[in-house]
Structure 1
Amino acid sequence: MTAGEIEQPAAPVIPDAEVESRRTDAVATAFDAGGGSHLLIDQLSSRLDSLALLSEHDMSAFDSALETFGTHGLVEQQMITELSSTEPIAHPERFSEAHRRAVRALEVFDRNGARPPSVLPVWAIARRPAAQVVQLLTTAIVRNHQKRLIRDVRQLYALREANSATDSPQQVMLARARTQMDAFVADLNKSSLPLPAFLVGGAAISGTLSVIRSSFNADWSRYLFSAAFLVLGLVAFWCILKAAGIARRRTRIALDASVKALYEVIGSAGSPPHDHSKLFATVATVLLIAVWVVVPVVVASAAITWPWEG
């Protein structure tokens, strides 16, 4: 230290326990910021506003504040964050544009989502029946997703409309958008399959296994029949997996970006609904396991027990 400098006193060291105590006191003070109001609505609004502020600046204090609600975890944090947002539309100046883009995306998806597959890498003799089966399964996926998406978006519009101040610009925009969806919701709620694909697949597997067992009284024909069933099971696996891939690709092209943008503009609305492509892929995997594992076991056990039954 030089002669002209003045020694500065060292900053006091605050113990960790006192730091935590001050943080807790700050959270309590923020929660009591309702101005002494006796109305529960004022106290709740103050708490949610304080939680939103804490989540942006101090996650430790935010977690401590969550405990006063008896909640913890990612889902609970998201719920509190959504509750703390009081605006019905996060970006009202972009809502009309986002709504128009989403409706246009629904139009394109409705017109093209269930069309036959463009190219299938199969033999020419099997291309037509394979295309029909794949189109049937693709239709089941895209129509189910379309109906669910329209239902969820319309419900979101209606709830945010009720959440808006009476005669406010946000309420007018949401009411107009909901009315527009009401006009075409019946036209776009098209049927897909009479039964879910997994029920159809389960019934087919169960029925085929029964036929296999009933054919065990024959000689070598039961092995030929089982081999044919293995081939058909592989074909079914390929068709379901192909349909799931086509449906996912068409949904991504037509809907994903537009619907995600709409939810972003509305704000604090969670994630948009997802299609059931992964579910169908799982069904295809289960079907493949059933074909290549369960059926050979059944055939083998019958082959072992059959000579002794004679």
Structure 2
Amino acid sequence: MAPTLEDVSLFLGLPLAGHAIGPLDSPAGWERALTQRFHGVFTDAPDPVWEHHGPKYEWLLNFRIQNFRASLTAEQITRSLEAYLMWLFGKVMFTENHVTTISTLYIPMALEIVSAQTADQIRQRSWGSAVLAATYRGKCNGCQLTSRKPALLGCPLFLQLWSWERFSIGRPDVRVREPIDAMFDVDGIDMPTFGLCWTRLERCFASDQTRKAYTTLNEQFDAYTGVIWQPYMEAAIEARYPGGLSMLCIRDRDYWMTKSKIIFDVFVEEMAQQRVMRQFGLLQLELPPPIENPVPAHIHMLP
């Protein structure tokens, strides 16, 4: 089993069609340019604060919507959107080991989006495949790190949603506050993605804390036989979303079983769909790689 482009579409609604995201470069003189754009935008917001790697995460928090006290000017809206996009790229979609900063690699993409006057001025990118590639690389790195503080990078939110749909262990107990279809205008475009039930509903976690949870979870997985191979069957969709899923989730379905390589920045990841055919309701003929050599060495040598 593995996360696929189908999962990206259904959970996140990100486009798969478009240009590859990469290679990315830090813009020259980004410190001065960032200061010029954000200086004095809000009277109570400080000028940009940064480290070598990029702008500080805590500085971006000055542009959260809860900090706004009055109607905003066009410039304030633009700069707030730019700050949000830098946070979205650096702290949700493509997380890194730099905890306190946002990578400068994302500044040009955020600036391009907020500077566009029309939609066709924004380069159409394959955001979905980039998120999957970053998550694949993050899992490889996380499994091979030997430090005491290894990190799960890429898009942990996506990986978490993926696991909760397939394994009934290690996930929260969620209870619906109100019917899903009551939250949306199902006749319009604001219909949900499949992962919504895990991100917008009330979470009712157990009040008791489990000691040595890592060991307990491993023991449960060793004995687990209830894998849900295909969580997106029509009956499941109808039960959870009577109004239907957003078109954003299925617009790029022709790409779901692609065998092309997926790219993020300078990383190229293999889409070995023939190893996960059972997730698409098909016969899985190819056996998984042997444990002693789970991934061919040449895959990790790709730039």
Q: TM-score, normalised by structure 2?
A: 0.19
Pick 1 or 2: higher relative contact order, CA cutoff 8 A, min separation 6: 2
Which structure: greater strand fraction? 2
Question: Whose radius of gyration is greater, 1 or 2?
Answer: 1
